[in-house]
Structure 1
Amino acid sequence: MAGPVIRKSALSEGLISGSVGLVSRVAIQLCLLAVTLTATRYLAISQFGIYSVASALMFLCRNLFYVGPYEYLLKTPPFPGLKGACLKANLGLAVAASVPLLVFVSISEYIFGSRDLPFVLIRLVPALLLSAMTAWYEAVLLRDLAIRRYYLFTVIGELFGAIVAIAFFYYGFELRSLIAQTYTRLGILLLLYVLSTRVEGWRNGSVADVRKVLDWSLSRFSAVFLNFSANYGADFILGIVLSPVATGLYRASNRIVSSISDLFAQPLQKIVQTNLSARSSRGLRPDHSWIAMLTAVASIGWAALLGLAVSAKQVVLFILGPAWEKAAPVIVVFCAARALSLIDAATTSLLVCCDRQKFMLKVQTTVAVLVPVTSLGLSVAIPHSSELAPTVVAIAYLAIMSALTLAYAQEAARLSSASARDVLVGMLFSVIPGLFVTLALIVLEMSQFGRSLEQRLFVAYALVVSIIALVFGLIVIRRRLLSSIHSLGYARLAGEDA
């Protein structure tokens, strides 16, 4: 049977879009990973727990700017007040989000038993206005399909932020490094946007327009809080019930795995979101392309996560040091959980484009309640061991997120008229390269040669073996992969043709 006919311009566009997204995300994640690893070296595990809580709260507030008005601006057919209304909505959100954050600052010392958390948070509140502006500019760029400029600016901002943070850690500023990183990154990013992007209509937007944007966004704002509870509820429960040490182990493990998974999940989400939003703005229904986009990215992303899971202990000892050895089993569990996030990256973008926020809200509400409640129950059940608790809580988190992923995938398949077979076949092809990597690493670890290697050499050999195995796995699925890469550029080219 002949393979799919692939239009060269679409294949080229898909390769460029996918490659730019992946390369830029690699650079961004390397910056974030460098800061995280530096923090683990210069902060005690308890301080890293405080650092993680402060970062999580800022993440919650910033995420408000990346849903609602952000998504509304991406998907809505143009009208005179669109951009201005979305900007005003974001700025209003920044002011509104500052109030509860300041209230939390006043009581955080009593909750976590540390003065470091309020010290950091009070200095980060003004950064919310900068986040609101940069999020709006990002939506403007993506609406115009200026994806490469968006990635370039994001890399530059993250790079400068990472350099400043590492320098501050080195010179003994400890938790102040988070403050310096935040303002440097946002300041550089906003400057680049202002100097290079001319936006028409940013002063427009009546009160009625803003209200319309916010009314549409309410369920998405609820989703942010629910996602926060799902993704960070365990961190807070561990820190409150047990200690910041437990939070530090849990969050450090999560961040290491996320530094791998986000290399793929974030570009995938932007590609699916941009492509499907382009179809939606032209009045077209979603097609099966989200499955192909998932296959193109997950075939590499899942291989990376499987490789990390197999060699987790060696990686932890090499990167974090012996003091963090208990993080290894937590990393293995999070590798499975973050593998699901690649599926979610594709399905959530489709669901938002199809205005399925209410359905998502129901699922997210269930998950948001289950994660902290389950974490609380498990933390109380095993208070004698804060080292064991993060692993047990991570396993419970994996089980809950598996149910969420399944619910989203079923609804996305229904909306795009994809059969269960279409979805399963796409995922089957995606996991094949990862099986090659897993087998290669197991053989290396079990061999006499692998056992004789010292830690650094083993990690180096494992990396080389993984790359070779990945290449063989990609060759096996090459026809399916080429067809999937073609889909990365399809919607953009379709929009240009229209």
Structure 2
Amino acid sequence: MGRKGPLSEGLISGSVGLISRVAIQLCLLAVTLTATRFLAISQFGIYSIAAALMFLSRNLFYVGPYEYLLKTPAHPGLKGACLKANLGLAIVAAMLLLLFVSVSELIFGSQDLPFVLVRLVPTLFLSAVTAWYEAVLLRDQAIRRYYLFTVIGEIFGAGVAIAFFYYGFELQSLIAQTYTRLGILLLLYLLSTRVEGWRNGSRADVRKVLDWSLSRLGAVFLNFSANYGADFVLGIVLSPAATGLYRASNRIVSSISDLFAQPLQKIVQTNLSARSSKGLQPDHSWIAMLTAVASIGWAALLGLAVSAKQVVPFVLGPAWEKAAPVVMVFCAARALSLIDAATTSLLVCCDRQKFMLKVQTSVAFLVPFTSLGLSLVMPHDSALAPTVVAIAYFMIMSALTIAYCREAARLSSASAREVLWALLISAVPGGFVAVTLVLLEMSHFGRGLEQRLFVPVAVALSAVALGAGLLVIRKRLMTSIHSLGYVRLAGEEA
């Protein structure tokens, strides 16, 4: 009685997630753009390496115990065991990070990196607790509160970072941003969320959580190698400037793709975990959820790829013009992340960690070693190296996406035709946007526009083309939106 229909719930959940990610990505983008203006390309490379290492460390708390807490039927020691497991991981991560600090100056030839990392180590314990709170909220389906708190933390963190950059603190801005964001987030959780049983959890409970998490924790390091291995290789073999060019391009594209991939992952993870906790098998809903989000996300990425030569210098500044071809390649690579966001959530809910680990091991080996081989044959000052490495990364990640997608289809009894048709439908709005922008660049009107005018005109025309594309697939799109907010469980009335 009184429950909103699936379409209403889907619109609300999807809109809240998208709006929240827009706000979060705008904050991250603002910090990135500010950093490119106040840091040299080599400094931005050091900034990127430090951020990558903190991403690796913090990500330990968002798999394993986090996922275990989401999917496991409730029992008295569950929440406490997961919290203790996260804190134990924080101790291990801090020790490993300090060990890396001791050799980082020798590897990268810079004192800036150890300076930043030592000051960020204590934030690991803040991350361990906030990640646990997040899992508690998502388990209780309090998705809107989770997004609200996350946005507030990101806004405060970004504001402090930008202020620090303007006052000349350079790399210390990263430190200020991290402490501010996590501090605000933890305060909001403590003031608003009362959690029963956080002191519970025997050693046996904690050991069970960690045993289940082992392969997922290994996947964190493998994913890091796949996603950041090239950054480190470029920084070590060539220069931090090559890392800066590569990572800035990735960051710009990620700021768009993550608007869609992260809400999609949370929605799929939450809905399928709800089914799993009740002992139900996955259905085809992951395909519908993917279609609803990818139809817009891919259009944005295609638009950026087509207009990268105009957009990149406009956004990052003339000094970053060489990043345009790298951005184009990353648009294709990050388009795959939307498919992965849906399939990985399904695979985790089906306890397919070992399968994922095998695939991730292959990718984690191929990315850095391929990057190493390509970097060694490139001239030391070659601006082409980041582009070539990005192309290799895209080809390797394509194989991972295909493997995950085939396994997800098998587990949910979905046919290859059904999956491919959903992907083609999702690409229709992007095709409209790409054709529109190509025609703009080829036209006499487009060629006559200055760069500062071309970008807003391109954005306006892309919005019109996107609307036309969505109109073409409107029936399939509305059906897909149903799945974003509510997954019908067995025994419920239609």
TM-score, normalised on structure 2?
A: 0.98
77, 80, 85: which is aligned to 1:89? Answer: 85
For 1:338, the aligned partner's letter is R
For 1:460, the aligned partner's letter is P
Q: Deviations over 1:172-210 (max 9, x none)?
A: 000000000000000000000010001011010000000
Say whether residues 1:49 and 2:18 are aligned partners: no
User: What is the deviation of 1:497?
Assistant: 7.7
Between the aligned partners of 1:408 and 1:291, the Cα distance in structure 2 is 13
Aligned to 2:465: 469
Aligned to 1:430: 426
Aligned to 1:3: none
Say whether residues 1:270 and 2:249 are aligned partners: no
Indicate how the Cα distance of structure 1 residues 496 and 261 shifts in structure 2: closer, same or farther if over 3 A, else same: farther
Say whether residues 1:73 and 2:69 are aligned partners: yes
Secondary structure of 1:200's partner?
coil
Between the aligned partners of 1:295 and 1:114, the Cα distance in structure 2 is 45
Q: Deviations over 1:436-474 (max 9, x none)?
A: 000110111111111111111100000000000000000
Aligned to 1:459: 455
87, 104, 109: which is aligned to 1:108? Answer: 104
Alpha-carbon contact 1:48-1:248 (below 8 Å) kept = yes
User: What is the deviation of 1:226?
Assistant: 0.1
Indicate how the Cα distance of structure 1 residues 212 and 383 shifts in structure 2: closer, same or farther if over 3 A, else same: same
Between the aligned partners of 1:490 and 1:20, the Cα distance in structure 2 is 14
Indicate how the Cα distance of structure 1 residues 418 and 94 shifts in structure 2: closer, same or farther if over 3 A, else same: same
Say whether residues 1:222 and 2:197 are aligned partners: no
User: What is the deviation of 1:395?
Assistant: 0.2
Between the aligned partners of 2:99 and 2:350, the Cα distance in structure 1 is 36
388, 394, 406: which is aligned to 1:392? Answer: 388
220, 236, 240: which is aligned to 1:240? Answer: 236
Say whether residues 1:134 and 2:123 are aligned partners: no
User: What is the deviation of 1:493?
Assistant: 8.0
Alpha-carbon contact 1:243-1:386 (below 8 Å) kept = no
Between the aligned partners of 1:111 and 1:387, the Cα distance in structure 2 is 22
Aligned to 2:321: 325
Between the aligned partners of 1:492 and 1:119, the Cα distance in structure 2 is 51
350, 357, 364: which is aligned to 2:353? Answer: 357
Secondary structure of 1:491's partner?
coil
Alpha-carbon contact 1:50-1:117 (below 8 Å) kept = yes
Alpha-carbon contact 2:238-2:380 (below 8 Å) kept = no
User: What is the deviation of 1:317?
Assistant: 1.2
Aligned to 1:62: 58
Q: How does 1:256-335 map to 2 (within 5 A)?
A: 256-335=252-331
Query: Where does structure 1 lack aligned partners over 5 or more consecutive residues?
Result: 1-6
User: What is the deviation of 1:383?
Assistant: 2.7
Q: Deviations over 1:275-303 (max 9, x none)?
A: 00000001110000000000000000000
* Aligned residues: CA RMSD: 1.3
Aligned to 1:483: 479
Secondary structure of 2:281's partner?
coil
Aligned to 1:4: none
User: What is the deviation of 1:384?
Assistant: 3.7
TM-score, normalised on structure 1?
A: 0.97
Between the aligned partners of 2:29 and 2:120, the Cα distance in structure 1 is 21
For 1:38, the aligned partner's letter is T
User: What is the deviation of 1:349?
Assistant: 0.1
Indicate how the Cα distance of structure 1 residues 494 and 324 shifts in structure 2: closer, same or farther if over 3 A, else same: farther
Q: How does 1:189-204 map to 2 (within 5 A)?
A: 189-204=185-200
Moved more, 487-496 or 163-172: 487-496
Aligned to 2:156: 160
Aligned to 1:442: 438
Between the aligned partners of 1:451 and 1:164, the Cα distance in structure 2 is 40
309, 334, 342: which is aligned to 1:346? Answer: 342
166, 190, 195: which is aligned to 1:170? Answer: 166
Secondary structure of 2:487's partner?
helix
Aligned to 2:175: 179
Q: Deviations over 1:375-406 (max 9, x none)?
A: 00000011344311000000000000000000
Alpha-carbon contact 1:275-1:492 (below 8 Å) kept = no
Stretches (4+) displaced over 2 A: 383-386, 492-498
Between the aligned partners of 2:244 and 2:284, the Cα distance in structure 1 is 41
For 1:183, the aligned partner's letter is Y
Between the aligned partners of 1:493 and 1:301, the Cα distance in structure 2 is 28
Query: Where does structure 2 lack aligned partners over 5 or more consecutive residues?
Result: none
Between the aligned partners of 1:411 and 1:387, the Cα distance in structure 2 is 38
For 1:30, the aligned partner's letter is L
Q: How many aligned positions are there?
A: 492
Say whether residues 1:408 and 2:404 are aligned partners: yes
Q: Deviations over 1:293-345 (max 9, x none)?
A: 00000000000000000000111110111110110000000000000000000
Between the aligned partners of 2:314 and 2:24, the Cα distance in structure 1 is 22
Between the aligned partners of 2:380 and 2:6, the Cα distance in structure 1 is 58
Secondary structure of 1:203's partner?
coil
Aligned to 1:231: 227
User: What is the deviation of 1:489?
Assistant: 1.8
Alpha-carbon contact 1:10-1:493 (below 8 Å) kept = no
